Amino acid sequence: MVKPVVDMLHLLPVETVSFLSDCTVLAMSFSSLIRTRKDGILLNVRTSTPLAVGAVFGGLLGKWLFERVRTGFANPNVLGAVQSVCLTVITILYNVFRFTVLL
C-alpha cells in the first residue's frame, strides 16, 4: 500500500519509489525470517526454494515489462499513476478473492 500512496502523492520519482518499495520488502522478509528462526521455526527448503526462484524470475520479468511500458510514456508521472492504479486493482482483487475463500 505504501507504493501506490507515494506514487499518488507524487512525492518521489517512480524509479525511486520502486527501489524504496523493493528495499522495504527485502528488509521485511529478512526480519521475518530472523524472527521465525528465533521462535524455533525452520525454513522448509523444499517449498521455499521454488518460491524464491519464482520470485526472482517474476521480479526480472516485472522489471523488463516495466521498462517496456516506461518507454511508451513521455511523462513519468503518468506512468506512476498507471502503476498505482494497477497495484490498487490487484490489491483489491486479492483481498476480495481472499475474503471469498474464507467464507
Q: Which three cell numbers stand for residue 63?
A: 522489471
Distance of alpha carbon 31 from alpha carbon 35, whole angstroms: 6
Model confidence pLDDT, tens digit, residues 16-65: 888 888 888 889 888 888 888 888 877 788 988 898 899 889 988 988 88
Average pLDDT of the chain?
82
Are the beta carbons of 12 and 6 closer than 8 angstroms?
yes
Would you state the pLDDT for residue 26?
86
In this prediction the pTM is 0.53
Please name the residue that has the C-alpha cell 524455533.
40
Would you state the pLDDT for residue 102?
60
Would you state the pLDDT for residue 33?
83
